[in-house]
Amino acid sequence: MLDGVRKIFGVAIAIGLACANASPAESPEPVNPAELLHGLLRDPNGDFAKVARVTLGKSGGNALFYFPTADIAETPATWGWKFENVWFPSADGTRLHGWFLPTSVKRPKGTIVFSHGNAGALGHHLGFVTWFLPAGYHVLMYDYRGFGSSSGTITRRGVIEDVRAAFDYVKTRRDVNPNRLVSFGHSLGGAKSIVALGEKPVPGVRAVISDAGFASYRGMAEVMAGNVGLSVVTDENAPKDWVAKLAPTPVLLIHGTADEVVPFAQAQQLFAAAQEPKTLFAVSGGRHGDALWRNRGEYRRKVLVWLDGKLK
């Protein structure tokens, strides 16, 4: 029963409800299974909610925000990019794995520290960062604990500590200017980076960028799993509670208006909570993973212009 609840709730909170296309050949009128599940998840007093609370507990749903894999899939070399395998410890000694991708530009503009989303491992997220390389930026991307080749067990607090560990490591490199660092995160990566840097600023970070990040864990749980989600997910370390602490570091939020995983309203909530200097790029029609690729990379170019202004 526990595995069943975890699977159903996990799918709901991670990617939303799936729609069924099949229907019986004769009457009565078919019931859409997605609508049925939606109803079950919305009823805080229903049997499904009771089972979820008993089996998962009040915070057991927190773990269902993470869908790691250990496979590498592709490396930067697959696409012709130079890279270095790197290893560094988090605050509690957890050994983390990353890739350092150097720009070929003779006078680098800065270094991007990239925190990826909640699924897969490093090789699944290369497309989010390689466009920075020809623009003159080094990139450090890493797997947080429990993902890819990194050791450890995933916890919400742990992955926040891993953000700061990545910055601590990159500042030790002789080929990196420690005073020209940029945080860039997608989805969960953006959310946890906002908390990590808002809670404990890292000297040298000149800008914080979040692409398709969310404001609240409970807010996302409610969107994807209704009152059942609210009953098993907690909201400590929610980005909305920390984004204001980033000031005076400039913040850029990028979000597709048609994001099918993290609703655009989450970006609006996060932006409202942030302090100046802050910027929101609302990408018309953008979805969860393609906002920076819409209109032939219009918003990638805008990001680079925005960064140029922050790294003068």
Shared domain for 196 and 132, answered yes or no, is yes
Domain boundary among the residues 65, 82, 111 is at 65
State residue 45's pLDDT score: 52
Please check whether residues 182 and 208 belong to one and the same domain.
Answer: yes
| Total number of domains in the chain | 2
- Cα separation of 96 and 86, whole Å? 8
DSSP of 160-180: HHHHHHHHHHHTT-TTS-TTS
What pLDDT, on the 0 to 100 scale, is given for residue 60? 55
Residue 190 and residue 41 share a domain: no
Q: What are phi and psi of 79, to 5 degrees?
A: -110, 15
pLDDT, one tens digit per residue, over 135-166 is 999 999 999 999 999 999 999 999 999 999 99
Q: What is the pLDDT of residue 65?
A: 80
Range of the domain at 24: 2-65
d(CA 224, CA 65): 11
User: pTM of the entire structure?
Assistant: 0.83
Is residue 136 domain-shared with residue 205, that is, in the same domain? Answer: yes
Cα atoms found within 13 Å of the Cα of residue 138, Cβ hemisphere only: 22
On whether residue 255 sits in a domain, the answer given is yes
Mean pLDDT of the chain: 84
Residue 229 falls inside a structural domain: no
Q: What is the pLDDT of residues 171-206, one digit of tens each?
A: 999 999 999 999 999 999 999 999 999 999 999 999
Instruction: Answer whether residue 227 is part of any domain.
Output: no
Identify the CATH number of the domain in which residue 111 sits.
3.40.50.1820
Question: Do residues 49 and 43 lie in contact, with contact meaning Cβ atoms separated by under 8 Å?
Answer: yes
Same domain, yes or no: 60 and 73 = no
Are residues 56 and 176 both part of a single domain? no
Q: Is 206 left (phi over 0), alpha (psi -120 to 50) or beta?
A: alpha
Among 15, 34, 65, the domain-final residue is: 65
Residues 61 and 186 in one domain: no
Domain limit, last residue, from 34, 65, 96: 65
User: Where in 203-250 does DSSP place strands (E)?
Assistant: 205-211
pLDDT at 61: 67
DSSP assignment string, 26-73: SSSPPPPHHHHHHHHHH-TTSHHHHHHHHHH-SSGGGGGG-EE-----
What are the mean pLDDT values of the chain's consecutive 10-residue runs (312 residues total)?
44 38 36 40 46 46 81 87 98 98 97 95 93 98 96 96 98 98 97 98 98 94 78 91 98 97 96 98 96 95 97 91
